[in-house]
Amino acid sequence: MAEVSLISEAGPNGAVVFGRDFVSSESFKTLFRDGMALVEEAAGYLDGQGRDQSRRLPRLAALAYANESMRLTTRLMQIASWLLVRRALAEGEMTESEAKTQLSRVRLHKDAPSDEQRADLPATLVALVERSLRLQARIQHLDTVMDTKPVRTVPTTGRNAVALQHMLLHSAFTRGTPRH
């Protein structure tokens, strides 16, 4: 019976363990550095130039700024928590159980400002918000992929290529909904 491996690296019993391998990769290290750099950049902006800019805004725009800066800060703290927990787990500083408990507390919500609100906000704040939303979307995707059960190799005997692809798509979309 011929088998098709969905990913070349396989764990025990042919299972692919993406999460364990990903958090040890250069891609994760880059994601971690980029995420933490964005946290630092946003904090520096909000404590310096952003504070000065917010003081010069009209009242309604200043309220929108305060709201958006709070949402940005919250989003970045949640992203940082996710990154730190995943790294701690990968480095053996945390058990699976501890990591699961900590990750259950992370809340990643998509809450972008409306176009109307963006028009009144400083361009730097809008850029930081957009970058944080892109990073959050990437992390939400990774979180979903990393928390799914290992993928098994798929026997191909008696199946045509279209049926195999259909089965793989069905499997991918019925694994459960992402955690938010």
Most distant CA pair in the chain: distance in Å? 71
Position 109 scores a pLDDT of 77
Residue pair 79/139 in contact by the 8 Å Cβ criterion = yes
Residue pair 16/103 in contact by the 8 Å Cβ criterion = no
Predicted model pTM: 0.69
| Proportion of the chain in helix, strand, coil states, percent, rounded to 5 | 65, 5, 30
Residue pair 94/85 in contact by the 8 Å Cβ criterion = yes
The superfamily in CATH containing domain 18-149 is Protein of unknown function DUF1465 (1.10.8.930)
* Average pLDDT for runs of 10 along the chain of length 180: 36 50 81 96 96 94 93 94 91 88 84 75 95 93 72 52 65 56
The beta strand positions in the chain, using DSSP E, are: 3-4, 154-155
pLDDT tens per residue across span 147-171: 654 444 445 455 566 666 666 676 6
Burial of 109 (0-12, 13-18, 19+ CB in 10 A): exposed
As a whole number of angstroms, the distance between CA 54 and CA 17 comes to: 47
Domain boundaries, the chain: 18-149
Position 110 scores a pLDDT of 72
Position 173 scores a pLDDT of 65
Position 21 scores a pLDDT of 67
As a whole number of angstroms, the distance between CA 121 and CA 112 comes to: 13
The single residue listed with the structure tokens 């900590």 is 102
Position 161 scores a pLDDT of 61
